[in-house]
Amino acid sequence: MGKPTGFMELRRQNEASLPVAERLKNYREFVQHLTDEQAAIQGARCMDCGIPFCTSGCPINNIIPDWNDLVYRGSLADWKRALDVLHSTNNFPEFTGRVCPAPCEAACTLNINDDAVGIKSIEHAIIDKGWEQGWVVPLPAQKKTGKTVAIVGSGPAGLACAQQLARAGHGVVVFEKNDRIGGLLRYGIPDFKFEKSHIDRRIEQMRAEGVEFRVNQQVGEDVPAQKLKDEFDAVILTGGAEQARDLPAPGRELSGVHFAMEFLPQQNKVVAGDVLPQQILASGKHVVVIGGGDTGSDCVGTSIRQGAASVTQIEVMPRPAEQEDKALTWPNWPLKLRTSSSQEEGCTRDWSVTTKAFLGASGKVEKLNCVRVEWNAGKMLEIPGSEFEIQADLVLLAMGFVSPVQKVLEAFGVEKDGRGNAKAATDGAGCYKTSVDKVFAAGDMRRGQSLIVWAIREGRQAARAVDEYLMGFSDLPR
């Protein structure tokens, strides 16, 4: 702890964002990382707590107080050490430093009666400096084991797992059904939150570490599950949870009603330079986004950039309180009103609203028929007489994901849990292993829809489990 009085003297400074009018002109990232001097001040706010709740709040247990202190000290050698500490728990800090909701900050001790340390902004600054300085280099294994591993799915879980296993000396092949690597980082999250060059340079690093990537390979269809089991010493299923929750109300079949994941990937492809025969576009339309989470927000920001006439986002749950009661919630992630960068770009939000029907003419959606609801002991009750309509030329369903696509799990014949995820424990002997010999599962495919930071954690831990399974022991971190 470099500055014992820092937390009393220094204020939290958030990262700067480009003004809304500026950032809406394109799909580039608009959040600017802290300068070295700003990061040092933010690092100096850390109290180096005896019990660092930030670290236990972080799913990958980032060693946060250490890099806060190193950034405060501020020599180039300190920054390099900060990067090494960061990489010791996280393969891809540039992913989490941009799009993690930062449960570590909710858990920070300073958050009890002050603003939390700006942990995510410091992480962002460290990894960006690492790339700028050329410190992020391939780390190929010194010795090859001769063992081979197939990874099915190239999201953050698959990538973290692949990198760990390649560094442990195994021959790793990543199979991806899409035309590009990256999972939801590539085709879910828009470029304005996360530019895809961050994935591309990691792919380059991983190729140099020996990882082979095979795209346009749908395992269970183009590539039989049995073939992978026959040809590889272990298989890890990291195919995500792609089965979107539908809204089977009357009129669902009208044109103009789409899943978020039909809409978002198309724009990411266009930003990547692809020419699409047809694109679902919000331009000039009244857009209604159903669902108030991250996916819904991404639909809002994309619709606004495409030039929507209006964007409305509705949510079935009640409007949360502006502020949490920290005495009740700390150090856990609190439910409170959050406004995403996309929502602040210009969208009308409404809560406690459910959709009864999609209304339209000539096969096209024109309106939503909605009703207000109240919640009583977990039960949703419609409020009589509260029906209303919302104009809608484009409706985007962003109500979460119910499970992995079942086909690939069935192709491998793995046992599933009650929610249709691949069943595998995360601790004890045989962790991350499914009911099928040599087949493991991690990330959203095992835990259900979650976060990038959890996917990285599971990818890393599954890598250790597979390494142990193949070699009888493992030096990879837990």
Among 24, 31, 49, 309, binds ligand SF4 (CB under 6 A): 49
Residue 158 binds which one of ligand SF4, ligand FAD, none, with CB within 5 to 8 A depending on kind?
ligand FAD
Using the rule CB under 6 A, which residue among 34, 71, 99, 117 binds ligand SF4?
A: 117
Handedness of CA 146, 152, 156, 157 (dihedral sign): negative
Answer with the entry of ligand SF4, ligand FAD, none that 403 interacts with (C-beta below 5 to 8 A by kind).
none
Helix, strand, or coil (residue 19): coil
- Helix, strand and coil content of the chain, in percent to the nearest 5, comes to 35, 20, 45
Task: Quote the CA–CA distance of 81 and 421 in Å, as a whole number.
Answer: 39
Minimum distance of ligand SF4 from residue 92's CB (angstroms): 21
Cβ closest to ligand SF4, residue 65 vs residue 210: 65
Angle, helices 156-167 vs 452-471, to 10°: value is 30
Mapped onto helix, strand or coil, the DSSP state of residue 417 is coil
Contact 269/230 with Cβ under 8 angstroms? no
At its nearest, how many Å lie between ligand SF4 and the CB of residue 331?
8
Of the candidate residues 102, 110, 157, 289, the single one contacting ligand SF4 (CB under 6 A): 110
Among 103-111, 133-141, 144-152, 332-340, which window interacts with ligand SF4 (CB under 6 A)?
A: 103-111
Q: Give yes or no for a contact between 283 and 306, defined as CB atoms under 8 angstroms apart.
A: yes
Sheet-wide strand order for 234-237: 212-214, 171-175, 148-152, 234-237, 439-441
Q: Please report how close the Cβ of residue 57 comes to ligand SF4 at its closest, in angstroms.
A: 8
Backbone phi, then psi, for 387, in 5-degree steps?
Answer: -65, 145
65 binds, among ligand SF4, ligand FAD, none (CB under 5 to 8 A by kind): ligand SF4
- Number of residues forming the site for ligand SF4 (CB under 6 A): 15
Q: Could you give the CA distance from residue 434 to residue 258 in angstroms, rounded to a whole number?
A: 34
Is residue 73 packed enough to be buried (19+ CB in 10 Å), middle (13-18) or exposed (0-12)?
middle
CB of residue 16 to ligand SF4, shortest distance in Å: 21
Binding stretches for ligand FAD (CB under 6 A): 99-100, 152-158, 175-178, 183-185, 188-189, 217-220, 238-240, 264, 294-295, 298, 408, 443-445, 450-453, 455
For residue 264, the partner it binds in ligand SF4, ligand FAD, none, with Cβ less than 5 to 8 A by kind, is ligand FAD
First and final C-alpha spacing in the chain: 27
Q: Which does 450 bind (CB under 5 to 8 A by kind): ligand FAD, ligand SF4, none?
A: ligand FAD
Tell whether residue 212 is a contact of ligand SF4 (CB under 6 A). Answer: no
Contact 67, 82 (CB under 8 A): yes
Torsion of CA 257, 258, 264, 267, to 10 degrees: -60
Q: Are 397 and 259 in contact, with CB atoms under 8 Å apart?
A: yes
Instruction: Note whether 65 binds ligand SF4 by CB under 6 A.
Output: yes
Residues 207 and 184 sit within 8 Å (Cβ to Cβ):
no
> Between 125 and 260, whose beta carbon lies closer to ligand SF4?
125
Which residue in this structure is represented by tokens 């009666």? 113
Q: 19 to 48, contacts with ligand SF4 by CB under 6 A?
A: 46-48
CB of 110 to ligand SF4, least distance (A): 5
If one asks whether residue 100 binds ligand SF4 (CB under 6 A), the answer comes out as: no
- Tell me how far, at minimum, the Cβ of 330 lies from ligand SF4, in Å: 11
Which of 93/239 has CB closer to ligand FAD? Answer: 239
* Chain residues that interact with ligand SF4, rule: CB under 6 A: 46-49, 52-54, 64-65, 68, 108-110, 117, 119
